[in-house]
Amino acid sequence: MTEQPRLVFTGNVVADLVLGIDALPEPGGDTIAGTTLVTAGGGLTVMLAAERDGLPVVFAGQYGTGPFGTVVRAALASSGVEIVSAGLDDVDSGFSVVLVDGTAERTFVTSVGAEGRLTRADLDRVPVAPDDLVFVSGYSLAHPANAAALPGWLDGLPAGVRVIVDPSPLADELDGDLLDRVLARTDLLTANARETRILTGTGNLPAAATSLRARIRPTGAVVVRDAANGCWITDQVSAPPVHVPGFAVDAVDSTGAGDTHGGVLAAALSRGDDLAAAARRANAAAAIAVTRRGPATAPTATEIDALLAR
């Protein structure tokens, strides 16, 4: 019997300090947060989203020891995902200050820690089967050590392994040659509207999706997320790009919505769903996530099924 595919996640888990505010203050100003939350975030959301939708997850990333590492370690221990690394004992995990304004938009300021010290030796400890999916985040590609380790490791993966890449909000800081090398091994590129505009220079999302598809593997697919509007998809079947509508909800916090979308997208594709069905399911999951405060708010499969049924 063929073993169930897994999601091998190579991204970062950090501590999130989430502050709810009415609006960002002007430079030099200040504002009082209405809500405060300290929790684990970053790539944890991708992993929880996939795991809660039935896809086993292996965490291949690195993490540290210290106040923020304690938050990260506790979250990983209770997540249900398989953890490969024992973590680093000489450096703390990083953290992100997350500012969520009255429109539910989020803005980040991140300090890098142990998650930015992933090595090729760390990655080589992860056995990857041909049916597995590998998730790569632009956050990792922005860290010199991780960026040096990942491309060669990706090149050596079995041909059948599907590589999913999310360029992250740091898309404008990634080295172009490095990104091109990673995209050449990418089977699914998922990016939000801002990231897509940065990578292509156009705000026309269908045109941007078509442009990006030419930069990945010939059999690959592109998903361009457009917040509450849903997403645009393109692959060998759905070319030219097709719009997959979103779900109307009352959003309170968009933190982790894209990560939730990516995790559920991977889970659906691992079960054999076509891209359109997987994107619709991911849209539903993200819609549920934005009705909850905090980054790691991915819904369960039952909750997603209920929204799709409505």
pLDDT value at residue 238: 73
User: pLDDT tens across 157-197, in order?
Assistant: 999 999 999 999 999 999 999 999 999 999 999 999 999 99
- Label residue 1 by pLDDT band (50, 70, 90): very low
pLDDT value at residue 262: 97
- Give percent of the chain above pLDDT 90: 92
Average pLDDT value over all residues in the chain: 95
For the segment 225-234, the average pLDDT, to the nearest whole number, is 96
> 114 forms bridges with which residues in the sheet?
none
Q: State how far the alpha carbon of 74 is from the alpha carbons of 4, 62, 229, 259, 310, in Å.
A: 27, 14, 35, 20, 36
- pLDDT higher than threshold 60 for residue 2: no
Q: What angle do CA 162, 261, 123 make, to 5 degrees?
A: 40
- Give percent of the chain above pLDDT 70: 99
In this prediction the pTM is 0.93
- Label residue 310 by pLDDT band (50, 70, 90): confident
Q: What angle do CA 78, 253, 269 make, to 5 degrees?
A: 60
pLDDT value at residue 241: 96
- pLDDT higher than threshold 90 for residue 254: no
User: pLDDT tens across 231-243, in order?
Assistant: 999 998 777 999 9
Strand order in the sheet with 13-20: 35-42, 13-20, 95-100, 106-111
- pLDDT higher than threshold 80 for residue 259: yes
Task: Identify which has the larger pLDDT, 68 or 256.
Answer: 68
Q: Which domains does the chain have, with CATH numbers?
A: 7-12+43-60+117-309 (3.40.1190.20)
- Label residue 255 by pLDDT band (50, 70, 90): confident
Q: In the block, which residue shows the tokens 């450096």?
A: 91
For the segment 143-161, the average pLDDT, to the nearest whole number, is 96
Report phi then psi at 111, rounded to 5: -110, 125
pLDDT value at residue 294: 80
- Label residue 51 by pLDDT band (50, 70, 90): very high
* Cα Rg of the chain, angstroms: 18
3-state SS string for 48-100: HHHHHCCCCEEECCCCCCCHHHHHHHHHHHCCCCEECCCCCCCCCCCEEEEEE
